[in-house]
Structure 1
Amino acid sequence: MTDTPKGLSRNVANYGDRDFALYLRRSFAASMGYSRQALEKPVVGIADTASDYNNCHRSVPELKDAVKRGVMMAGALPLAFPTVSLCEPSLTPTSMHYRNLMALDTEAMLSAQPMDAAVLIGGCDKTVPAQLMAAASADIPCVMLVTGPMLAQRFEGERLAACTDCRRYWARYRAGDVSADRIGEIEGKLATTAGTCGVMGTASTMACIAATLGFMPLMAASAPAVHADRLRLAEEAGATAVRLIANPIRPSQLITAKSVENALRVLLALGGSTNALVHLTAIAGRAGVTVDLKRLDALSEETPVLVDLKPTGDGYMEDFHAAGGMVALLRELRDLLHLDTIDLHGRTLAEQIDAGTPFVDRTYIRARAEPVSPVGGLVSLFGTLAPDGAILKRSAATPALFETEARCLVFDGLADLAARIDSDDLDVTPQDILILKNTGPLTPAGMPEAGYLPIPKKLARAGVKDMVRMSDCRMSGTAFGTIVLHITPEAAAGGPLGLVETGDRVRLSVKDRRLDLLVEEAELARRRAAWTPPARPRRGWDRLVFDQVLQATEGADLAFLRPDGE
């Protein structure tokens, strides 16, 4: 029995003469200045997501150099390769529309190029889930290295960091409480260092989930982007990848039913991003693990919110890290976790927790007896408006709105929303429910973070801070409000959401976990008969997404990328 090829001998092209193909590969590699000794070493690939369009990845070149240092010190050859890089503010219609493209690109490069293990450098919201989806599908040993969160900026007596503070100040600007000059001044103070958003938004939530799944050390989830620790973690990632060549632990060993449930517990305890649920569902789905919204809801009733960070609390990611980070949080959750899951070193979760520092700052990581909330941050909703489910982040919502029955004001898409939301003639009251449809994964909108519908300007100026808002799209992990998201099936898939009209009555009951459209079935049948499905895009990525994308409850992945290809 022959040994599995290593290094440049892996994945050799087939020209009918394998030895010639390897000879050709080495000769071309030599043109880049590598010695024969270097080319005979095992190879660690480094997914390089640096991009001038991606501010969250500003530090990637420096991290890549540190990873290379770790790889070479451990005796292997580091080879970096570029992949798609996604930055939410830089993409249209939204970065979510291209998450699966990045996952497909990364999976192909992990599988096609010669490497024995890989380090995946990500950070901005959709990059980490895309890379973990790719890792699950390629199933080669992979280490996750996140860029880390930015530091908050001290400015005139308060701290600021993207993007919760962006939204807070913009809401005040819309309400007329902040001047144009002031909002312009604040713009330059919201993101002042390298790194991802400095709050418990999607990027930070996904970093914590990646650590919980075992793809990186626990404290690597929160170390700030600009700290020297982040570079040491990069060096360690390189060394870990080399160790995995001789002692492989594959993504399929890390992404299990138990580790996914642990990740759900962490998501709930963090008061984390609703987006993370879609991403974790997609990651788990690549490994054949199903995330059940009803199981999530049961976990939410048992799992308290323990982390007091924006957007649901007061602190920033640097505070969470200094307070003990993931080690301290998991110690508090210990009796709720499956402690026999493993990390890339083969250590159980129990061993990882025990190896961490015992320090905890209760300002930001609460004790179980004194939680931020006695129940988890997310709830699942089902009913005649959401037969397959929807999500509400109760930790960021207004409890007085949890039980609401009201007429709805419907916007048929983003263009309709933009055209009418700030009109002084808009027929709206603070008691109404705002509904946005035709913005799910099947649509040209690409399931954007538009679920945080703005408060109509005339209501904002009157002091209204929150309203019930509903949609088939997402909201930023940095946002807040009483917002129902991911209504499934989406409107464009023929779901009941597509039949809702302005003036209909809708009932939200967090207590009963219900979301119901209060319209007679005969009237719905009439509307259903008149409904027409959206047009199929003509070509390209949009066409592929339309043909293959799944609903939010299945992670909005592409069907043919799942394990069974369906």
Structure 2
Amino acid sequence: MTKKQPQDLRSARWFAPDDLRTFGHLSRMMQLGYSEDDFRGKPIIGVLNTWSELNTCHSHFRERVVDVKRGVAQAGGFAVELPSLSVDESFTKPTSMLYRNLLAMETEEMIRSHPLDGVVLMGGCDKTTPGLVMGAISAGVPMIYLPAGPMLRGNYAGKILGSGSDAWKYWDERRAGNISDDEWLGIQGGIARSAGTCMTMGTASTMTAIADAMGLTLPGASSIPAVDSGHQRMSADCGRRIVDMVWEDLTPDQIITDGSCRNAAIVAMATGCSTNAVVHLIAMAKRAGVGLKLEDLDELGRNTPLIANVRPSGKDYLMEDFFYAGGLRALMKQMEDRLDTSCMTVTGKTLGENLEGAVVYNDDVIRPLDNPVYKGGSLAVLKGNLCPNGAVIKPAACDPKYHVHEGPALVFDSYPEMKKAVDDENLEITPDHVMVLRNAGPQGGPGFPEWGMLPIPKALIKQGHRDMLRISDARMSGTSYGACVLHVSPESYVGGPLALLKNGDTVRLDLPNRSLDMLVPEEELEARRKALVLPEPRFERGYGYMFSRHVTQADQGCDFDFLETDFGKTAGEPDIF
């Protein structure tokens, strides 16, 4: 391999010439307290840090950036930290998904506009992984992803708690009057007790596993708990490795290929992935020019067994247990013959080389292929007259009796309307009803919020029911569970068929045949279609204005149309030096 020379570095365009522009660049570096020996002729590594005081998942990142910088310096590079938009799940309203593309744009433009030879992307909380990766793919410089890692197991009153999943579970019991104020407070204090992302196989762990399987992290990095000392060592290793990647000119286009995207999808299915993975995987692949489609994911979902016994699709364990059982490397080793092991990774080695020596230490946590948690895969894609462009469901996380179901629709046009109804103990509803929430998609939400796990109505909870068929054009938290059909596309807000559904219409789900339909005559649907009046756009200014006019639908990844690889030309590298 022919390595770059110092004069070939991208940053040399800022610092090598003997001209007035370079005078300005060098003088400002001296203003920061650096001498030329600190950075000139060395790979300059941008450390894009999504830390903030409101992002609980990343609360340890202020310390981890020190570890990254140590590694960069040890390898002969020069690291600079660049604070990035921190899109957290807990506090960002109406939804962090509204800002995933903003983080992607910021990442791409920050890399492109600064003298960076390579980047370490520090993320983990749900939308930070796809946002950072999408932007870095488009920028095209060497990059490595540093996952935040899951938090420790939750605990209350001797019971192990899983973030998100147990919140939904105990909230239903709270609404039923089965949990006291003191118990509720204890659960709140015990369910999230360290830095790190949700320790269930929610969206955060799903997306970091996808980045790992795609070859964008150090091998197995996604499994390391956030507060484990191994996480500090991995962070320093990221710093050392990115410097070598710059000299090797190992760029994202050499790593993110048809094969690596397929690997990521297969691994996601085997872990019991979040339904959010569908949207993000498609968006990330499209940035790399890979034409991954819903149909591809459904095919993989049918043929990939779920072997990670981790909540919510698994029954018994959490991410800390998954790490002790061997982590993602062990899971991938278990299914090595299903993967394209020739794919290049950030290590400069193939996936197959990275999996050498991986061992499963607990085969109840990471099951063998002949003893899976669920045989049929983690996700299924549905089509029908309610969702002509697709919808998704998580079969392993819902009661099997709803896999084939027919019932009358109870339709809500907004989240507040739905929320008020489910708390009405006199609501006229049966377990056979199909609850429907619309106007909650990419434009209708706005931003595609995680409203898809509609609460079980209190009237049914008091009768002992804990699941029912629910349909929406919203998303669902990766920590959620239940018979929930999500991502109905096109969404109702732009005139999708869901907008035509009325209370009492019969809805039929046939999961084995991958269909979702409203049993309404076509002539009646056509009459409703002609009478339909679309709502006004949600935004008339700012970022929201741009979002509502350029975001694609769920089946297309919800990226901005003008950021996809086949849209026009990029401005390329800045040339005004």
TM-score by length of 2: 0.95
Moved more, 169-178 or 138-147: 169-178
Tell me the secondary structure at the aligned position of residue 177 of structure 2: coil
| Residues 480-538 of structure 1: per-residue CA shift (max 9 Å, x gap) | 00110101111012110111111111100001110011111122112111212221221
Moved more, 480-489 or 148-157: 148-157
Q: Which residue of 1 aligns with 2:38?
A: 38
On the 8 A contact 2:331/2:360 being kept in 1, the answer is no
Q: Which residue of 2 aligns with 1:28?
A: 28
Between the aligned partners of 1:432 and 1:4, the Cα distance in structure 2 is: 68
Q: Which residue of 1 aligns with 2:574?
A: none
On the 8 A contact 1:412/1:436 being kept in 2, the answer is yes
Q: Which residue of 1 aligns with 2:131?
A: 130
Per the TM alignment, residue 85 of structure 1 is displaced from its structure 2 partner at its CA by: 0.5
Between the aligned partners of 2:318 and 2:20, the Cα distance in structure 1 is: 56
**Mapping for residues 279-298 of structure 1, pairs under 5 Å:** 279-298=280-299
Tell me the secondary structure at the aligned position of residue 89 of structure 1: coil
Q: Which residue of 1 aligns with 2:198?
A: 197
Between the aligned partners of 2:362 and 2:285, the Cα distance in structure 1 is: 32
Between the aligned partners of 2:203 and 2:456, the Cα distance in structure 1 is: 23
Tell me the secondary structure at the aligned position of residue 190 of structure 2: coil
Q: Which residue of 1 aligns with 2:530?
A: 529
Between the aligned partners of 1:532 and 1:22, the Cα distance in structure 2 is: 58
Per the TM alignment, residue 421 of structure 1 is displaced from its structure 2 partner at its CA by: 2.0
On the 8 A contact 1:10/1:115 being kept in 2, the answer is no
On the 8 A contact 1:93/1:446 being kept in 2, the answer is yes
* Residues 150 and 374 of structure 1, relative CA distance in 2, 3 Å threshold: same
Q: Provide the identity percentage.
A: 41
Q: Which residue of 1 aligns with 2:227?
A: 226
Between the aligned partners of 1:424 and 1:182, the Cα distance in structure 2 is: 23
Between the aligned partners of 1:357 and 1:424, the Cα distance in structure 2 is: 53
Tell me the secondary structure at the aligned position of residue 498 of structure 2: helix
Per the TM alignment, residue 401 of structure 1 is displaced from its structure 2 partner at its CA by: 0.8
Letter in 2 for 1:29: M
Per the TM alignment, residue 32 of structure 1 is displaced from its structure 2 partner at its CA by: 1.3
Q: Which residue of 2 aligns with 1:487?
A: 488
Between the aligned partners of 1:245 and 1:327, the Cα distance in structure 2 is: 25
Q: Which residue of 2 aligns with 1:404?
A: 405
Between the aligned partners of 1:329 and 1:59, the Cα distance in structure 2 is: 27
Q: State whether structure 2 residue 321 is matched by structure 1 residue 303.
A: no
After the TM superposition, which parts of structure 1 deviate over 6 Å for at least 4 consecutive aligned residues?
A: none
* Residues 4 and 286 of structure 1, relative CA distance in 2, 3 Å threshold: farther
Per the TM alignment, residue 212 of structure 1 is displaced from its structure 2 partner at its CA by: 0.6
Between the aligned partners of 1:184 and 1:461, the Cα distance in structure 2 is: 22
Unpaired runs of 5+ in structure 1?
none
On the 8 A contact 2:201/2:318 being kept in 1, the answer is yes
Moved more, 332-341 or 226-235: 332-341
Q: Which residue of 1 aligns with 2:328?
A: 326
Letter in 1 for 2:511: V
Q: Which residue of 2 aligns with 1:56?
A: 57
Letter in 2 for 1:33: G
Moved more, 63-72 or 305-314: 305-314
Per the TM alignment, residue 323 of structure 1 is displaced from its structure 2 partner at its CA by: 0.4
Letter in 1 for 2:542: G
Quote the RMSD (CA, aligned, Å): 1.7
Per the TM alignment, residue 302 of structure 1 is displaced from its structure 2 partner at its CA by: 1.6
Between the aligned partners of 1:338 and 1:554, the Cα distance in structure 2 is: 25
Q: Which residue of 2 aligns with 1:475?
A: 476
Tell me the secondary structure at the aligned position of residue 320 of structure 1: helix
Between the aligned partners of 2:64 and 2:32, the Cα distance in structure 1 is: 22
**Mapping for residues 206-221 of structure 1, pairs under 5 Å:** 206-221=207-222
Q: Which residue of 2 aligns with 1:9?
A: 12
| Residues 195-237 of structure 1: per-residue CA shift (max 9 Å, x gap) | 0001100000111110111111232011000011000000000
Per the TM alignment, residue 18 of structure 1 is displaced from its structure 2 partner at its CA by: 7.6
Between the aligned partners of 1:494 and 1:422, the Cα distance in structure 2 is: 29
Q: State whether structure 2 residue 428 is matched by structure 1 residue 445.
A: no
Per the TM alignment, residue 318 of structure 1 is displaced from its structure 2 partner at its CA by: 0.7
| Residues 339-388 of structure 1: per-residue CA shift (max 9 Å, x gap) | 1111012211111111x333431120001111111221111100111101
Per the TM alignment, residue 3 of structure 1 is displaced from its structure 2 partner at its CA by: 8.0
* Residues 378 and 359 of structure 1, relative CA distance in 2, 3 Å threshold: closer
Q: State whether structure 2 residue 558 is matched by structure 1 residue 553.
A: no
Per the TM alignment, residue 4 of structure 1 is displaced from its structure 2 partner at its CA by: 5.8
Between the aligned partners of 1:280 and 1:53, the Cα distance in structure 2 is: 26
On the 8 A contact 2:218/2:238 being kept in 1, the answer is no
Per the TM alignment, residue 39 of structure 1 is displaced from its structure 2 partner at its CA by: 2.8
Per the TM alignment, residue 316 of structure 1 is displaced from its structure 2 partner at its CA by: 0.7
Per the TM alignment, residue 180 of structure 1 is displaced from its structure 2 partner at its CA by: 2.8
Q: Which residue of 2 aligns with 1:155?
A: 156
| Residues 227-275 of structure 1: per-residue CA shift (max 9 Å, x gap) | 1100000000000110011102111111111111111111111011011
Q: Which residue of 2 aligns with 1:143?
A: 144
On the 8 A contact 1:442/1:546 being kept in 2, the answer is yes
* Residues 444 and 435 of structure 1, relative CA distance in 2, 3 Å threshold: closer
Letter in 1 for 2:34: Y
* Residues 97 and 12 of structure 1, relative CA distance in 2, 3 Å threshold: farther
| Residues 113-147 of structure 1: per-residue CA shift (max 9 Å, x gap) | 10110000001000011011011111111010011
Tell me the secondary structure at the aligned position of residue 519 of structure 1: coil
Letter in 1 for 2:31: S
Moved more, 345-354 or 78-87: 345-354
On the 8 A contact 1:175/1:463 being kept in 2, the answer is no
Q: Which residue of 1 aligns with 2:181?
A: 180
Tell me the secondary structure at the aligned position of residue 90 of structure 1: coil
Per the TM alignment, residue 161 of structure 1 is displaced from its structure 2 partner at its CA by: 3.5
Tell me the secondary structure at the aligned position of residue 486 of structure 2: strand
Q: Which residue of 2 aligns with 1:121?
A: 122
Letter in 1 for 2:89: E
On the 8 A contact 1:430/1:459 being kept in 2, the answer is yes
Letter in 1 for 2:70: R
| Residues 165-185 of structure 1: per-residue CA shift (max 9 Å, x gap) | 222211211222212332122
Moved more, 250-259 or 157-166: 157-166
Q: State whether structure 2 residue 316 is matched by structure 1 residue 314.
A: yes
**Mapping for residues 230-245 of structure 1, pairs under 5 Å:** 230-245=231-246
Between the aligned partners of 2:390 and 2:192, the Cα distance in structure 1 is: 35
On the 8 A contact 1:67/1:238 being kept in 2, the answer is yes
